[in-house]
Amino acid sequence: MPELSKKDRMKIPRQPMPEQDSGLRSANFEEVNLGFTEELAKMEALRCLQCPKPVCIDGCPVEIKISDFIRLVAKGDFLGAASKIKEDNMLPAVCGRVCPQEEQCEAKCVVGIKGESVAIGRLERFVADFEREHGGSRTLEIKPKTGKKVAIIGSGPAGLSCAGDLIQMGHDVTVFEALHELGGVLIYGIPEFRLPKDIVKAEIDSLKSLGVEFQTNAVIGFTDTIDELMQSGYDAVFIAVGAGLPYFLNIYGENLNGVYSSNEFLTRVNLMKAYKFPDYDTPVFNVKDKTVAVFGGGNTAMDAVRTSKRLGAKNAYIIYRRSDVELPARKEEIHHAKQEGIEFLLLANPNKFIGDKDGWLTGVELIKMELGEPDSSGRRKPVPIDGSNHILDIDMAVIAIGNGSNPIIQQTTPELQFNKWGNILVNEETMATSKKGVFAGGDIVTGGATVILAMGAGRQAAKAINNYLNKINISV
């Protein structure tokens, strides 16, 4: 293939992601994005300028060698590209789907200064899918066994990425999961149509094949305390339990029947497969031909509202107190939601829920908002407009305004230090907690954030734990 000039490369348009038709998909749980074909992937890869100093890598929390893997894609060496990504990221099929690349690697991409940035996320996803469908890349190198054992609490993105790194460094790793299935938020939270569960399972299987051990039904704090884990022979512990305690709005009527947290609604549908009731035993509110309102504007809110549409809701609203520019969800998710017929009621805030005599939700009183001065987050503060109260008839509500910290570890591990929100305090460089040999990362430290930030924290912790374990070796 003749070498393309920069100019030629810049002329190639960003390749579109093939999608399932919006009419069809709003009635099924199949994945929305279908993924690049080999041709689309190669064409997209040619758009990369192969910068001598690829700044895109600065935007990646796990520092994937982006230009290197894209060069391999352009050459058609897709398995080579997969190996290159896996040097830094054990879960590329997940990240290629759910990372906010537009705020990370793609935001830094030089091509994006004048035109549209290279579709790094779509390429990552293509490479990971190709590898999975074509029997895997070369086996990863595993260092000789160190004889050290690490316990990881939580099998979500932070725990999995930490496990992947530590096992390659030669340590024995056991991951403890509270639920009956592995994957944490990747399984219970993110819906099938955005992240198929088979893909999560395949990524976990590849960790198992490297020797990572998993224990489900293990609620650390109750089943074993952290002290007991350390007494039973673990040399270090990584706490990656996520946020996992849903916030509510604290308004009147929130405990009416038909009001859910996003965690509950999504867990029922995703983990427990309530959309297949009664073949699966767990039920969920029957929204068929009903009206659903989801409160919040993040990715979880989009997941919940799009899920309700797929369950047959006639009207599905996003209700958000700021305007569309402040919506925290990924642009792609908002775009997909709108295509699927989700209605956005912006600059609106709930005052109270209204129920019937049997305690079922029938409506919500909303008040219109306007944007005032910027608040501490730098976003313009929404201010209620007096007298703009009005009632919206709804049958089901989902509160998707974020998560606080789960109290179980705090209640059962007195030596750990927490901030006032219940987040574990750590040394930001080493992820070490106030308790010797215990590290923490992901949402339990930062508060609710993204999959990739949690994975970055997992990798950072793996490095620090490795250093810590090596030091123990020397001192013995």
Structure tokens that stand for 112 in this block: 């994006």
Q: Does 307 bind another protein (CB under 8 A)?
A: no
Dist. CA 190–CA 94, nearest whole Å? 11
Q: Does 421 bind another protein (CB under 8 A)?
A: no
User: Which string of x and - marks every residue 378-407 that binds another protein (by CB under 8 A)?
Assistant: ----------------------------xx
Sites for another protein among residues 133-152 (CB under 8 A): none
Q: Does 281 bind another protein (CB under 8 A)?
A: yes
From residue 2, how far is each of 14, 70, 271 by CA, in Å?
Answer: 20, 17, 49
Q: Which is nearer to another protein, 185 or 432 (CB)?
A: 185
Single out the residue of 26, 67, 267, 308 in contact with another protein (rule: CB under 8 A): 267
Q: Does 419 bind another protein (CB under 8 A)?
A: no
Stretch that binds another protein, among 130-138, 161-169, 279-287, 378-386 (CB under 8 A): 279-287
- Taking every pair of Cα atoms in the chain, the longest distance, rounded to a whole number of angstroms, is 74
For the chain, the first-to-last Cα distance in angstroms comes to 57
Least Å from the CB of residue 351 to another protein: 17
Q: Does 295 bind another protein (CB under 8 A)?
A: no
Dist. CA 403–CA 6, nearest whole Å? 46
Least Å from the CB of residue 356 to another protein: 11
User: Which string of x and - marks every residue 341-370 that binds another protein (by CB under 8 A)?
Assistant: -----------------xx-----------
Stretch that binds another protein, among 222-230, 301-309, 442-450, 453-461 (CB under 8 A): 222-230
Q: Which of 108, 105, 123 is nearest to 47 (CA)?
A: 123
Cis peptide before 278 (omega within 30 of 0): yes
User: Which string of x and - marks every residue 159-198 that binds another protein (by CB under 8 A)?
Assistant: -------------------xxx-------x----------
Name, in order, each residue with C-beta under 8 angstroms of 272's C-beta and a sequence gap of 6 or more: 280, 281, 282
Structure tokens that stand for 462 in this block: 């793996």
Q: Does 84 bind another protein (CB under 8 A)?
A: no
Q: Which is nearer to another protein, 411 or 470 (CB)?
A: 411
Q: Which of 61, 58, 56, 182 is nearest to 458 (CA)?
A: 61
Q: Does 260 bind another protein (CB under 8 A)?
A: yes
φ/ψ of 174, rounded to 5, equals -120, 130
Q: 108 near 123, Cβ under 8 Å?
A: no
From residue 425, how far is each of 267, 273, 365 by CA, in Å?
Answer: 28, 36, 39
Q: Which is nearer to another protein, 299 or 405 (CB)?
A: 405
Dist. CA 290–CA 307, nearest whole Å? 13
**Residues at the contact surface with another protein, assessed by CB under 8 A:** 178-180, 188, 216-219, 222-224, 244-246, 248, 250, 254-255, 257-258, 260-261, 263-264, 267-268, 272-273, 277-283, 285-286, 358-359, 406-408
